[in-house]
Structure 1
Amino acid sequence: MNGPEILLDFAPELGIFVPHERRNGPSRAVTDGASTLGHVVESLGVPLTEVGALVVDGREVPAGHVPAAGESVSVRAVTRPQEVPGAPLRFLLDVHLGTLARRLRLLGVDAAYESTDIGDPALAARSAAERRVLLSRDRGLLRRRELWAGAYVYSDRPDDQLRDILGRFAPVLRPWTRCSACNGTLRAATKDEVADRLEGGTRGTYDVFAQCGSCDRVFWRGAHHDRLEGIVTRALEEFGDAGTAGLTARTTAGS
């Protein structure tokens, strides 16, 4: 680009996205005189989903602002907890975040998940059609214009991913109320109602069951109970226990 020169200062939280030389205070950037500030910021590596505010010479401006020569720009990170206006808080996760999706469902958070790679355009379109926050570690995907809302998942470790999303969006937690397999709603079920779906050992050992209203899968306090209970307990201790009334059945599916 060969146009107006501006001064950019990125928040420390955004350092993961920008070159090393832009991580330690203001740095200069040359624009083309026509591109928006949002485009300039994304061209330097930062998805706008991670930007909380763009402040030019002390005043906040929209991403569509066209920077002029000499302007000083502060690129701030999103404020936590982050509000998502205009729709109930729901998520859509890409193919690489299956464990995070199951853990969010375990906590009763509405988390749709694509178990196959349907492609970036389809994911972004689904986010827009269903008004879901798209969670991904793919920066290119998060820059797609048709995306309704999105968030970068900063870690590749499931424990840290869960803490990141719960801390960023503060969803209401209702453990044991969603199907870990399909995201449907669970209901309490008697042993007689689900007997034809149980193996002999399970019928003789367990008495409390739940069933998904969407896929009919049956859940009980199974072999992974202690591990799943630990995930739930830690989440409630750190992020509150609002809306925690749920079913007592535990899934035997992994998380």
Structure 2
Amino acid sequence: MTARPEIRISFAPGLHLFVPPRHRGAPAAHPTDGSSTLGHVVESLGVPLTEAGMLLVDGRPVPSSHVPGAGEDVEVRGVERPQRVPGAPLRFLLDVHLGTLARRLRLLGVDAAYESEDIGDPALAALSARERRVMLSRDRGLLRRRELWAGAYVYSDRPDDQLRDVLSRFAPALAPWTRCTACNGELGAADKDDVREHIERGTERTYDVFARCTACERVYWRGAHHARLEAIVDGALEEFGGGAAA
């Protein structure tokens, strides 16, 4: 039986969690069929193309559509940070498992749509494409869907680390306290008289400054949880500043 031709392929250390153990060190041999694209090869080894940065063949950058030939040396680098997403204002879409991250992004004024129910990968990918939103997910299968407009894998399962990961990767503009954490709508100042029917009597006596969502009309004030939220905001601003202009 004739052996299949091979390429040699290596992955950046940050991509090692996706690939089989034999591909986590020095370049390793991998069979090629002479017709599959390099993008297909990379994904077949476990790496969503959303996480692959520059692809090098024999030291030269190539597109993911490149068809590797026998004997080529392939290097798969990670995504450079901050990552720029061309062609649209930077907006995100998060799947059902990232609700806390969505609320924290909204707290910082970042446009973050969130599906609180599992509507399925095809519907999420279609929504990403229709609204030109970057899909954030820990589901590698979802991130491999071709109809996605753009996507990114969320590397941690801890909300603090997830937020730091997204902010460092995309450097969004931050505008804390301007977006509804419940529905992603924009907040506007509200007079106490206008929101009196939506708040408890004790809140009315204690607080004088209110904001209301222009979409769902939820009312906000500096209540008991404000110190905890302020710590999240202050930490993000200290580490990442105001972000790049959208």
Bin the TM-score by the shorter chain: over 0.9
SS for the counterpart of 2:46 is: coil
Corresponding residue for residue 215 of structure 1: 216
Q: Does 1:41 align with 2:42?
A: yes
Corresponding residue for residue 185 of structure 2: 184
SS for the counterpart of 1:168 is: helix
Q: Does 1:154 align with 2:155?
A: yes
> What's the TM-score, normalizing by structure 1?
0.93
Q: Does 1:195 align with 2:196?
A: yes
Cα 1:85–1:242, aligned 2, differ >3 Å: closer, same or farther?
A: closer
1-structure distance, mates of 2:190, 2:244: 21
Corresponding residue for residue 9 of structure 1: 10
1-structure distance, mates of 2:242, 2:19: 37
Corresponding residue for residue 87 of structure 1: 88
Q: Is the 8 A contact 1:17 1:45 kept in 2?
A: yes
SS for the counterpart of 1:167 is: helix
2-structure distance, mates of 1:37, 1:133: 23
2-structure distance, mates of 1:242, 1:109: 10
Q: Is the 8 A contact 1:174 1:243 kept in 2?
A: no
Q: Which runs of 5+ in 1 are unaligned?
A: 245-255
User: Could you list the per-position Cα deviations for residues 200-233 of structure 1 after superposition, in whole angstroms to 9, with x for gaps in the alignment?
Assistant: 1111111000000000000000111110000000
Percent of aligned pairs with the same residue? 74
SS for the counterpart of 1:40 is: helix
Letter in 2 for 1:125: A
Q: Is the 8 A contact 1:97 1:136 kept in 2?
A: yes
Deviation at 1:241, TM superposition (A): 3.1
Deviation at 1:4, TM superposition (A): 2.7
Q: Is the 8 A contact 1:10 1:75 kept in 2?
A: yes
Cα 1:242–1:45, aligned 2, differ >3 Å: closer, same or farther?
A: closer
Deviation at 1:242, TM superposition (A): 5.3
Corresponding residue for residue 66 of structure 1: 67
Letter in 2 for 1:29: H
2-structure distance, mates of 1:205, 1:46: 53
SS for the counterpart of 1:150 is: strand
Q: Is the 8 A contact 1:3 1:33 kept in 2?
A: no
Deviation at 1:3, TM superposition (A): 3.6
Corresponding residue for residue 105 of structure 1: 106
Q: Does 1:50 align with 2:43?
A: no
Letter in 2 for 1:187: G
Q: Does 1:20 align with 2:21?
A: yes
Corresponding residue for residue 128 of structure 1: 129
2-structure distance, mates of 1:16, 1:228: 32
Deviation at 1:23, TM superposition (A): 0.7
Cα 1:118–1:30, aligned 2, differ >3 Å: closer, same or farther?
A: same
Q: Is the 8 A contact 2:9 2:29 kept in 1?
A: yes
Corresponding residue for residue 32 of structure 2: 31
2-structure distance, mates of 1:241, 1:57: 40
Cα 1:31–1:113, aligned 2, differ >3 Å: closer, same or farther?
A: same
Cα 1:86–1:243, aligned 2, differ >3 Å: closer, same or farther?
A: closer
